[in-house]
């Protein structure tokens, strides 16, 4: 069936190509098409919205990583950077948890000042790491880890002291009863 249609079109092509659409027909079609101004407005708004989304996403990514100014460029390879990030995340999470426990235990203002000094030392080490060459990085990272461990040790002593005081009180209460 398609062969007969093709044959008919080939045989009668000259007779079929006689009619052409009028110029007025195209004018009517153009009138029905939305104007270019509306398209430009929408496309401009779409571009502006896309740029805004990118700016907001970049901002939030920056806020998320702003705690660590240390980036991949400071390390010899990706694996070293990943290990540093994991170690940093572990100690930061541990310190935050211990700090909340120590605050519940009633942390002294002098101890808070000591912890702030440790934070200042850590920030100095971080600044030194950002400005030093690759040879000092491992030494500085070890000092940063030692700083974290010192802070955790102080916080654990505060928590343990509170726990031992609670144990003494409960032992005294049992003896008195």
Q: Which residue has the higher pLDDT, 120 or 46?
A: 120
Residue-level pLDDT at 126: 86
Please report which confidence band the pLDDT of residue 55 belongs to, taking 50, 70 and 90 as the band edges.
low
Geometric angle at alpha carbon 155, from 150 and 159, rounded to 5°: 145
Least confident among 8-12, 68-72, 82-86: 68-72
158: exposed, middle or buried (Cβ count in 10 Å: 0-12, 13-18, 19+): buried
pLDDT for 67: 42
Three-state DSSP state, 23? helix
**Number of other residues whose CB lies within 10 A of the CB of residue 115:** 19
Q: Is the pLDDT confidence value at 37 over 70? A: no
> Residue 58 above 70 pLDDT?
no
The DSSP output letter for 132 is S
Q: At what angle do helices 134-176 and 109-131 cross, to 10 degrees?
A: 160
User: Which range in 21-30, 35-44, 107-116 is most confidently predicted, on average pLDDT?
Assistant: 107-116
Predicted local distance difference test score (pLDDT) of residue 149: 92
DSSP per position, 112-128? HHHHHHHHHHHHHHHHH
pLDDT in tens, 75-118: 777 888 888 888 888 988 988 888 888 887 777 788 888 888 98
Q: pLDDT band at residue 64, thresholds of 50, 70 and 90?
A: very low
- Select the more confidently predicted residue: 177 or 143: 143
Place of tokens 């007025």: 24
According to the model, what pLDDT value does residue 148 have?
92
- Residue 107: predicted pLDDT: 76
Span 59-85, average pLDDT: 67
Q: Does the pLDDT at position 170 exceed 60?
A: no
Share of the chain above pLDDT 70, in %: 71
Helix-, strand-, coil-residue percentages of the chain, each rounded to 5: 85, 0, 15
């Amino acid at each position: 069936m398609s062969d007969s249609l093709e044959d008919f079109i080939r045989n009668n092509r000259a007779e079929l190509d006689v009619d052409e659409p009028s110029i007025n027909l195209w004018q009517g079609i153009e009138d029905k098409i939305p104007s270019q101004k509306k398209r430009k407005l929408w496309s401009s708004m779409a571009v502006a919205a896309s740029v805004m989304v990118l700016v907001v996403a970049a901002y939030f990514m920056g806020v998320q990583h702003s705690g660590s100014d240390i980036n991949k460029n400071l390390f010899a390879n990706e694996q070293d950077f990943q290990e540093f990030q994991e170690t940093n995340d572990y100690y930061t999470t541990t310190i935050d948890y211990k700090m909340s426990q120590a605050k519940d235990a009633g942390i002294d203002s002098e101890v808070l000042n000591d912890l702030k000094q440790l934070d200042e030392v850590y920030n100095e080490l971080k600044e030194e790491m950002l400005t030093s060459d690759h040879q000092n990085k491992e030494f500085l990272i070890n000092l940063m880890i030692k700083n974290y461990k010192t802070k955790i040790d102080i916080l654990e002593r505060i928590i343990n002291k509170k726990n031992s005081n609670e144990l003494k009180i409960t032992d005294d209460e049992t003896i008195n009863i």
